Structure 1
Amino acid sequence: MFDIQEELKKLPDKPGVYIMKDSNGIVIYVGKAVVLKNRVRQYFQNSSNHPPKVSAMVSKIQEFEYIVTDTEVEALMLECNLIKKFKPKYNILLKDDKHYPYIKVTMQEQYPRILKTRRVEKDGAKYFGPYSSAFAVNDAIDTIKKLFPIKTCNRVLPRDIGKFRPCLNYHIKQCLGPCQGEVNKDEYRNMMKKICSFLGGQYDEILNDLKGHMETAAMNLEFEKAAQLRNKMNSIVQLSEAQKVLSTDGQDRDIIGFAQNVADLCIQVFFVRNGRVVGREHFIFEGEGKEDVKYSLSTFIKQFYNTVQYVPSEVVLPQEIEDGEIIGQWLTGRRGFKVNLRIPQRGELVKLVKMVVQNAEISLKLYGERLKREGSIHEEGLRELAGILGLESMPDRIEAYDISNTGSSEIVASMVVFEKGRPARDEYRKFKMKSVSEQNDYASMQETLFRRLNRAIRESREESGQAKFSRLPDLILVDGGLAHVNAAQQVVSELGFELVIAGMAKDDRHRTKALVYKGGEYELSAKLPLLRLITEIQDETHRVAVQYNRKLREKRYTHSELDNIDGIGEARKKALIRHFKSLTAVKNAEIAQLLEVDGINQRVAEKIYEYFRK
């Protein structure tokens, strides 16, 4: 039997890779270590400090193996290969292990060809890409065929010159006919060099060349030819507009950005070649929203560049990553030339990183919306919710409550209803506190629930056809922890109801973290569908409460004593309230304090001061 504590004592003081296995001998995690002894031991010490994902993994480890290497770079390479081989459950994994398509121009041949390929080799050919899809490559090659009379057949030249009849493309002047000896090698290669410039984004020379030929054709009254040249110029202009210019240095680089929410992580990559975006790709990692980004980015980079065929000279990152120096050495070895991992602090590259991050945020948002549309997460989340709370069936109607206030003013509450896991907006209700005059979330929650349930009691007695509160929830969720749950439970019990109540707790970054129920806290990170469901409910409840609070404040600020003061319009009134936070503070302000507000001059400050002192 494998004794973990005994095996930990045998770990060497060297770099290497460790392999964690479960009770069935299945590899569940592969990691790299600078010092195996120190790194592996950390998993089995101070478990309270581990993130939820690591704690879940450690609980399943029954044995481990390790492989010693001479250097950290060797350990990194071995780690990448083992992750690719075993696809361990607790490693961040690229689901689409794809090889991106490239355009290959065989400049090593006497009569070069244009090909689509997914392999980049050191064979003397020129490669352009990567492109995001085969469709993008085909589209680019079709554009080249329209602009340049290249050969598209498979004949090997110069071996096959003169051995076959010319094809249709030759007769319609879409091929120069090198197979017939109609064009010499140097002339054909010059055209292929122009194509390489075109693929590299250097359009000006080709546009000027076409413009000159078009004007000459027009002067010679060859209007049909001039029109064809004009159409070619339009195609180039459209292509140049589609490829956004990101830099003028013409360097090849990948720009990486990321976005996280409470559940998932999205990493976005923009492929920049010769200063232009030639493609982009995003990757969604489910359940990695709370992971350390340094670790996540490092893991992604190792897996991503272990699969792609081309490594650019620069990889631009939004922040530091784990093992950055070692990864830089590894990438340099893969490329054969120096690769820089760059974290820009100022200038144009900072703006580019922000743009990539914005695209990652959009991709992550669209992914979440797609999951909601599909609806599978709602049912699975409700099933997990019922399991945690010990319910006999999935809750059909959930009511969630949140409190919003601005100091002691405009204290409001929201009641949001979810039916079958989806928002039922017609059932939403909003409350403005009547008995609570100071900031007190517990008392506000109690007043809200008392009014809601008391209304249900009255409606059941009256049997009114206008009943809006008579339908009771299967589950009540309150925004907060154990104290909020206890405050809500007190009201519910006093009114004689038996309702299930749970709290929606947040972490220190105000993100949904756990459910609080019967004195216990249930971490949600391991239950992804439930985490997404509770996050959606909590965010919606908070949104409605804040929106109502803001509406009341704006309404209060619209009509105030400030309207009675000469020289105070809407802009100055809003500026005063924004600066002092309340009308009372404006009343008590001295002239010097009033002058600190944007738009308030000496004359207006004196008028405000005199008005409130009379």
Structure 2
Amino acid sequence: MNLQTHQKTGALTRLKYLREKLSQVPQKPGVYLHKDLSGEILYVGKAKNLNARLKSYFTGIENHTPKTRALVAKITDFDIIVTETEYESLLLENNLIKHNQPNYNILLRDDKAYPYIKIDIQEKWPRVTIVRKRKKDGSLYFGPFTLSGQVMQLMNVINRFFPLVKCTPMVFKTVTRPCNYYDIKRCLGPCKLAVNTEEYREHLNNVIAILNSKSKDISKKIKDEMLRAADEMKFEKAALLRDQIKALEGLTINQSVTLDVDIEVDILGSYWNEELVTFHVTNIRDGKIVGGHSYIVKHLTEEPGEEGEIDNKKREQERILTSFICQYYQNKTIPEGILFENAKNVISNEHIKMVNEFLAHQKQQNLNKESNNLDIFYVKREEYVKNITNMNKNLILKLKDLTHHSNQNAENKFHEQIKMDENSNNMMMGLQSFLNLESLPMLIECFDISTFHGTETVASQVTFKNAKPLKSGYKKYIIKETGGNADDFASLREVIRRRFKDREHTKYPDLILIDGGTPQIREVGWVIKSLGLAKLNIVGIAKSRGENNFTSSQIINSFERLVIPKRDENGDILPEQEPETKILKQGSPEFKLVTQLRDEAHRFAITFHRQRRDKLSIKSVLLDVHGLGAKRRKKLIETYPNLKDLLSLSLAEVSEKTRIPLNIIQKIVDKLKEMKN
């Protein structure tokens, strides 16, 4: 809900301004950025002719599709960036979409459900770790790994046979001797021993090659190195290299062979309807399937057809397929070939050339050297096979099967997502009907307070978009105005005021859910009204509870219920009046949605509260230790920010680093052990 709607200036005035600005737009290639009233970017698009493309938005609006009309209704301004070529506009469009994440663009988000293998090459002694989220931190990321057990199999081989550092930087800096990994030949021990950096880098480069699915090449390299070490009578090193070769052979055997030719190719499949597109990418390296993953793309808007354009639907498909390919490969290693047969009758030769230029540019950046090969992306398997080898009928048939496999996986993901979306829509429609809302509650925020006798009071805000958690909308609040008293009402007033203090740039939810009953919802109602937001939809959820009626041994159970404030004829909230209470039917769609929100807000709040209390209680332990003054406390916390680390460290080492007597360190550790128990 945006209280500052375009109606204030009028649709005609807005369109007149946009058309006047359009007259200054050149007929050149470039990128355009549509913006709303608050200046937020709604949509980023590229065009061969900026003037013609933008003109299609702001003229003939009655002929637009509903999706396009919905976007145009929100546009109050636009910016343009002129480029020399359409290819440059493709690059710029892709970077702007990645940076700004506009709501109406095709957005390919990283899947956090699958693990990545990370190597932080900026560390002096880089480690190999498993992470769930890919960040732009200069590290190398491999994955996501979707085949069951694949990532653990790789990590097992890497940890057992490649002697790289396993310890965290904190442990690495504080150890007094090489750990057990050194004793069992799984680490070279650079923490305390003089290790040749070239030798370490050699092992690291071999691991990187394995993660790039170059097991066959690296096996030959390691074998040559093993023979050389044996000739030089370096038998310990030769034995290590021999074990590495055996481990790599095991990896190769466990991968299912699918092709007779050692090729490196990604095979893309897709499934499509008017609202949703799903893609599946099958990764083949050295002629073996090494991974595959499905992606979901919501088709939220359509670019209007330009004057004289015949097939706008085909151009829309071309836009979405091209955008997916560019976003998918922007931060990934580019394979030698990419085959996407579903794009055969969709992507024009002109766009195929642009996509190939883009992929070659990305490959050049990854390899840090020039690449003259512009033939990476193919839409016909015969052309792909012809370019990599002599025409091989058997290979063409196997690629056909793999293309069918990718398309089938994309279709399965499509139907799975449709079912999930159907459940989400049912929950939102159920809640809309139950509360008699004018529109679907697509964006809901829920607030909860957590405290313990007034200490470390915190609040949580969780956000659901389309009935699913939107983690970017989660917020934590440390309550400051209660003065250490347990005051739920004061806490609620503070958190609501802080949430809506920046009214000019805030996004308003379709519904606010408060964990509380009649008193809490009336209190929030007063705050909302005082902020000039009386039309915001707010509702409270009161927990079910069991009560004795004092006349029998039976327990009376109340039901989950929503507390709905009264409103006047203009839709403004009336906090002075007793709100209405409606019982939720257990198991109904609206029941599922609001209880999920309430439970998630409670979990988020209680976790934050416990973290705050743990931190406070650990630090308060130091106040009770006789002989530990302010200076010593400060030195200890600076050296060991997480005091729990002291439990696993040598007391003598801690005493030496902090210059605190050993007997006092012993008292601190004893206190920490008491807390742990």
Q: TM-score, normalised by structure 2?
A: 0.43
Give the greater-gyration-radius structure (CA): 1
